[in-house]
Copies of this chain bind each other. A is one copy, B any other.
């Protein structure tokens, strides 16, 4: 009676799955925020290497993973897939619950799956340094790790308030050799102009993005790296789902529903896209994206052209959005606090190909606690959204007396998020409603773009 499905390191995927050729219709253009015209590869080459720009737009279904990237993946990939037998017992459900666990990476989440190839391609292109932003610190620590492995320098603009609230993630980045700059900073025009008006500004992800992009755009030897949202990031994350498909086969099973938490979208894309591609072979798998009720991009946002960042420096894309100046409440799932959504996922959701659902954070932590006490692993607050949705699917199966196979993504562990669990256990965790009025106001400020 197996509970863990492992693959040999030779089974690390040799190619990423690119969903673009299988999308329901052509992609919408990405728009330059200055010119309001479609972005060209030349626009992007100031901050990205050409190989990643090509991946961003490629219509090849399969893209080779460089051997040097696979070699780094080997440190923790293939990641394990588990059957959650003790959770099933605790729920007394007829459903079978599987989870793909990405917390085994050195950074503790799925983020290195894209940080490693991004560092690799930039190194290949002769870049000396990468700049990025980080909020909760999952992406920043993953990029630091990747840069240390390829001998790149790494500059991380970390939201100032997070430097204080998440000091250990900051330490991890420094440990791996990165320079961490509290944002807003004096190092960029974007930072200085904010500090001039408000010297005590605590920062935001939008401001940090602006600083990192400016840093990259104004230094020839420096590029920018983004941890989610973009097509090439979703592409890199498909190693999750590709492995999971092989492992489900080992288990002699196939999911009726695939569940993953969804912020910018790369985690959901990574697990779900390879399963979505099976529909062409007649498989009837449902794919469910789970988001926080406090930042309900898919479930309460609109499908429109919007800026990727607050400062309107990032490209405008057609996506589900809550408005580029929407400020989500300070929930503990920092990785899910983004106003927008990956263009690919947005288009799939708009076409009715995937489902979405939102949860308040107490419900998620309740599920995470049950999971930790039965399965042992402490879920990251982000991942707890998928845990909760999987539990609800299993409970529904019980009520309906149906067999059902559930696969969810456990995208990271929560060992660095104990403060959040403390708050939950002491009853001090706020259950933010999605601020409907704030969303409405933000949506009034969408850019005027039409094609």
User: A residues engaging B (CB < 8 A)?
Assistant: 1-4, 6, 8-9, 71, 74-75, 82, 86, 104, 106, 108, 145, 148-149, 167-168, 171-172, 174-177, 369, 372-378, 415-416, 418-419, 421-422, 425
Contact = CB atoms under 8 A, between A and B. Distances in A.
Nearest to A116: B376
A75 B177 contact: no
Contacts of A369: 175
A64 to B, nearest CB: 18
A416 B172 CA distance: 10
Contact of A376 (B1, B149, B416): B149
B9 A171 contact: no
Nearest to A368: B175
Q: Name, among A8, A174, A418, the residue most crowded by chain B CB atoms within 10 Å (CB to CB).
A: A418
A176 B375 CA distance: 10
Given A376-B149, A377-B106, A415-B415, A171 B71 contact: no
Contacts of A176: 372-373
19 contacts: A1-B71, A6-B6, A6-B8, A75-B377, A106-B375, A145-B376, A148-B373, A167-B418, A167-B422, A168-B416, A168-B418, A171-B419, A171-B421, A172-B378, A172-B418, A174-B421, A174-B422, A174-B425, A415-B416
Contacts of A422: 167, 171, 174
| Nearest 4 CB-CB pairings of A with B | A168-B418, A106-B376, A171-B418, A148-B373
Contacts of A418: 167-168, 171-172, 175
B373 A177 contact: yes
- Stoichiometry, copies per complex: 2
A75 B171 contact: no
B415 A175 contact: no
A71 to B, nearest CB: 7
A148 B3 CA distance: 18
A161 B268 CA distance: 42
A172 B415 contact: yes
Contacts of A2: 9, 74
Contacts of A376: 75, 106, 145, 148-149
Contacts of A104: 104
A423 to B, nearest CB: 10
A8 B80 CA distance: 11
